[in-house]
Amino acid sequence: MADTSFDVIVIGGGPGGYVAAIRAAQLGMKTAVVEREHLGGICLNWGCIPTKALLRCSEISHLLSRLGDYGFSAKEISFDFKKIVERSRKVANQLSAGVGFLMKKNKVAVFDGSAALAGKGKVRVSGKTGAELAAKHIIVATGARARSLPGLEPDGKLVWTYKEAMVPPTMPKSLLVVGSGAIGIEFASFYRNLGCEVTVVEVLDRILPVEDEEISAFARKSFEKQGMKIHTSAAVKALKKNANDVTATVEAQGKSFEVKAERVILAVGIVGNVENIGLEGTKARVEKTHVVVDQWMATGEPGVYAIGDVVGPPWLAHKAMHEGVLCVERIAGLNTVHPLDVRNVPGCTYCRPQVASIGLTEKAAKAAGHPVKVGRFPYIGNGKAIALGEPEGMIKTVFDAKTGELLGAHMIGAEVTELIQGYAIARNCESTEQELMSTIFPHPTLSEMMHETVLEAYGRAIHI
Task: Assign residue 102 the CATH number of its domain.
Answer: 3.50.50.60
User: At which of 342, 376, 393 does a domain end?
Assistant: 342
Asked whether residue 263 falls in the same domain as residue 278, the answer is no
In a domain, 250, yes or no: yes
The reported pLDDT for the residue numbered 238 is: 94
Instruction: Reply yes or no on whether the pLDDT at 425 is more than 90.
Output: yes
Do the beta carbons of residue 90 and residue 54 sit within 8 Å? no
In a domain, 307, yes or no: yes
Asked whether residue 175 falls in the same domain as residue 208, the answer is yes
Asked whether residue 178 falls in the same domain as residue 305, the answer is no
The reported pLDDT for the residue numbered 272 is: 96
What mean pLDDT is predicted for residues 420-446? 97
In a domain, 121, yes or no: yes
Asked whether residue 210 falls in the same domain as residue 95, the answer is no
Asked whether residue 36 falls in the same domain as residue 138, the answer is yes
The reported pLDDT for the residue numbered 350 is: 97
Asked whether residue 133 falls in the same domain as residue 10, the answer is yes
Render pLDDT for 386-411 as a digit per residue (tens, 0 to 9).
999 999 999 999 999 999 999 999 99
Do the beta carbons of residue 236 and residue 150 sit within 8 Å? no
Task: With cut-offs at 50, 70 and 90, classify the pLDDT of residue 128.
Answer: confident
The reported pLDDT for the residue numbered 42 is: 84
Render pLDDT for 51-75 as a digit per residue (tens, 0 to 9).
999 999 999 999 999 999 999 999 9
As a whole-number percent, the residues of the chain with pLDDT over 70 amount to 100
Type of residue found at 93: N
Instruction: Reply yes or no on whether the pLDDT at 129 is more than 80.
Output: no
In a domain, 367, yes or no: yes
Asked whether residue 126 falls in the same domain as residue 9, the answer is yes
In a domain, 153, yes or no: no
Asked whether residue 278 falls in the same domain as residue 375, the answer is no
User: At which of 296, 320, 342 does a domain end?
Assistant: 342
Task: Assign residue 401 the CATH number of its domain.
Answer: 3.30.390.30
Task: With cut-offs at 50, 70 and 90, classify the pLDDT of residue 1.
Answer: very low
Asked whether residue 46 falls in the same domain as residue 12, the answer is yes
In a domain, 154, yes or no: no
Asked whether residue 333 falls in the same domain as residue 432, the answer is no
Render pLDDT for 338-368 as a digit per residue (tens, 0 to 9).
999 999 999 999 999 999 999 999 999 999 9
Q: How many domains does the chain have?
A: 3
Asked whether residue 185 falls in the same domain as residue 141, the answer is no
Instruction: Tell me the residue range of the domain where 189 lies.
Output: 159-268
The reported pLDDT for the residue numbered 113 is: 93
463 is catalytic: no
User: At which of 342, 364, 380 does a domain end?
Assistant: 342
Do the beta carbons of residue 208 and residue 355 sit within 8 Å? yes
Q: Which of 322, 370, 443, 463 is catalytic?
A: 443
